[in-house]
Amino acid sequence: MSAVLLARGLRYAWRGRPVLNGVDLRVDTGEVVSLLGANGAGKSTLLRLLLGLLRPAAGDVLLDGTPIASMPRRLLARRLAYVPQVHVSPFPYPVRDVVLLGRLPHAGLGGLSGRIGPADRQAADAALARLSIAHLAERPYTEISGGERQLVLIARALAQGARLLVMDEPTGGLDYGNQLRLLELLRTLAADGFGVLKTTHHPDHVLHGSHRVAILRDGRILADGAPAEILTRPLMRSLYDVDVEPHRLADGRLVFMPPAVGGQPAPHSPFHPSESPA
């Protein structure tokens, strides 16, 4: 079943300083959308507005045409799941119980004390298996690594059963292999009918697996479209004040790299500089 998360004209200020100034953004099920911007651009603030955790000064957020401000939180949680950037539990809950917390919108208050049923446990175990962390199920959440905790939070969001996932830096703390596996998982989830909105600081993560990228700068969405068309050398320079060179790989993929020493690619380079976009 398709779902649409839509922001219209969002404005927000913090202590009198404008953070967002008329943001429009749409996320559909079946796609991975990356939100890219420099530190302080307001990416995390935008996510909290989309989730109803902050109230905008102007504008609105709709889920399938209904303002989220008017939706009961339990209903909203069944349709929209959040993966925070950082989370540390003060209690040594087993990993499976942390994932089971994603079932609370279905079980209600007191779920872990008796209202969690076989279907909830099956959903939690399926989410752990999908993230390849079933072996952590009985481990205390406080005794696993930061990267493993991030995977547990993603499993919790999947167990929640929502079709739209909002993720703040989901690859943070993950090693290189798990970063690539997670990016591939997000593409697979989109193909299965999920919608994913994620923030990132890595343009290459946008190019690998995102259907769209939205560029946040100066409180507005500067551009929104296909990553290979939006991410150009001038845009990267304007966003981050650094110069990187886009290169087209032999198989057609686009990557960004720092300028080569002396302006020449390394010997045996797989890149084709003559095909590099501007």
Least confident stretch, 20-29, 81-90, 241-250, 254-263: 254-263
Domains annotated on the chain, with CATH? 4-243 (3.40.50.300), 244-278 (no CATH)
User: For residue 247, what pLDDT band results from cuts at 50, 70 and 90?
Assistant: confident
Per DSSP bridges, beta strands 254-257 and 212-217 are unpaired
* Span 173-213, pLDDT tens digits: 888 998 998 999 999 999 999 999 999 988 989 998 899 99
Residue given tokens 């929209």 in the structure block: 80
Q: Give the alpha-carbon dihedral of 49, 54, 59, 63, to 10 degrees.
A: 50
Nearby residues of 72 by Cβ (< 8 Å), 6 or more positions away: none
Closest to 5 in 3D by CA, of 23, 34, 32, 29: 29
In the chain, pLDDT over 90 holds for what percent of residues?
A: 62
Percent composition of the chain: helix, strand, coil (DSSP 3-state, to 5) = 40, 25, 35
Phi and psi angles of residue 107, each rounded to the nearest 5 degrees, phi first: -90, -25
Closest to 204 in 3D by CA, of 267, 246, 143, 262: 246
pTM of the model: 0.86
Cα atoms in the 13 Å half-sphere on the side-chain side of 172: 14
Residue given tokens 């302080």 in the structure block: 40
The mean of the pLDDT values for the chain is 87
For residue 115, is pLDDT > 50? yes
* Span 211-236, pLDDT tens digits: 999 999 989 999 999 998 999 999 99
Closest to 95 in 3D by CA, of 140, 40, 61: 140
The predicted structure's pLDDT at residue 243: 87
The DSSP symbol for 277 reads: -
The predicted structure's pLDDT at residue 187: 94
Nearby residues of 211 by Cβ (< 8 Å), 6 or more positions away: 31, 32, 33, 190, 226
Phi and psi angles of residue 208, each rounded to the nearest 5 degrees, phi first: -100, 85
In whole angstroms, how far apart are CA 183 and each of 175, 177, 179? 12, 10, 6
* Selected residue with higher pLDDT from 165 and 265: 165
Least confident stretch, 65-74, 134-143, 254-263: 254-263
For residue 111, is pLDDT > 90? no
d(CA 223, CA 230): 7
Nearby residues of 100 by Cβ (< 8 Å), 6 or more positions away: 111, 112, 116, 120, 121, 124, 159
